[in-house]
């Protein structure tokens, strides 16, 4: 299978970006939908770039099963169902909007 990878950085503001990586891979028990992905929302703070929200494929997570999941802020990891990259980007944008006050507070630290 030829490498079919999309990598992109979306600039939301001078101090907010989303790093996107989506690769079509062979269907397997580890990746049953055949898409390896990472959507990483980061902000720039006085200490450098910091990830606040990330969606990615299954990997070993302490205390969690191997499943697709999202990391939210510090230690909040939640399992998710993967339907499409578009759906995850839409969900990520919704989460950014819903958490705008908290995000702005973190930026000010």
What is the per-residue DSSP string for 19-56?
EEEEEE----SSSTTSEEEEEEEEEEETTEEEEEEEEE
Phi, psi of 13 (to 5 degrees): -160, 175
Token match 């705008």: residue?
A: 100
pLDDT in tens, the chain (109 residues): 566 899 999 999 999 999 999 999 998 877 888 899 999 999 998 889 999 999 998 665 555 456 788 899 877 888 888 889 999 999 999 999 999 999 999 988 7
Query: What distance in Å separates the CA atoms of residue 54 and residue 92, rounded to the nearest whole number?
Result: 8
Return the SS3 of 64.
strand
């Amino acid at each position: 299978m030829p490498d079919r990878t999309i990598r992109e950085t979306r600039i939301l503001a001078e101090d907010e970006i989303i790093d996107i990586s989506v690769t079509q891979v062979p269907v397997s028990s580890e990746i049953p939908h055949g898409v390896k992905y990472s959507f990483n929302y980061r902000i720039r703070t006085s200490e450098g770039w910091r990830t606040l929200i990330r969606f990615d494929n299954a990997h070993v997570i302490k205390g969690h099963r191997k499943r697709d999941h999202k990391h939210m802020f510090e230690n909040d990891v939640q399992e998710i169902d993967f339907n499409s990259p578009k759906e995850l980007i839409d969900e990520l944008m919704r989460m950014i909007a819903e958490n705008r006050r908290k995000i702005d507070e973190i930026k000010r630290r």
